[in-house]
Amino acid sequence: MPDAFATRTLDIATGASETVHDLTGSCVAFLREVADGRDGLLNVFVPHATAGIAIIETGAGSDDDLLDALQTLLPADDRWRHRHGSAGHGRDHVLPAIVPPHATLPVISGRLELGTWQSVCLVDTNRDNANRQVRLSFLG
């Protein structure tokens, strides 16, 4: 019987601009290797204080709409008490309260069960940290 728990860390280069990075393909590939047709849960976790995980449609403008909405909710200006880094960086530390740093998703028969237009995405508004890690963990 395969192991009931498997985990992997992805290294993601997000660059120097705000981004929504699609992780779905990496999640599917990971499950193909470790799930072995089993039911279970996939946990996606970003161990950073300034990034989050979102389930959102990508490629049709929704990813840019999300970044625009976050800019409206969390403007990159001097209102923030947390003041190191780029101007407005304090907002990046508030982001995980709105876009949580994790998502737990169903896996049925070894396959990630997302809706038709759903993708698993890393949301990173921190222009000061171009390299992120994302941990994928399967329990099944």
pLDDT, one tens digit for every residue, the chain (140 residues):
568 999 999 999 998 899 999 999 999 999 999 999 999 999 999 999 999 999 999 989 999 999 999 999 999 998 999 888 888 889 999 999 999 999 999 999 999 999 999 999 999 999 899 999 999 999 99
Using CA of residue 108, residue 111, residue 117, residue 120, what is the dihedral sign? Answer: positive
Give the pLDDT of residue 88: 84
Topology adopted by domain 20-139: Jelly Rolls (2.60.120)
Number of residues in the chain: 140
The pLDDT value given to residue 86: 82
> Going by C-beta distance under 8 Å and a sequence separation of 6 or more, which residues neighbour residue 108?
39
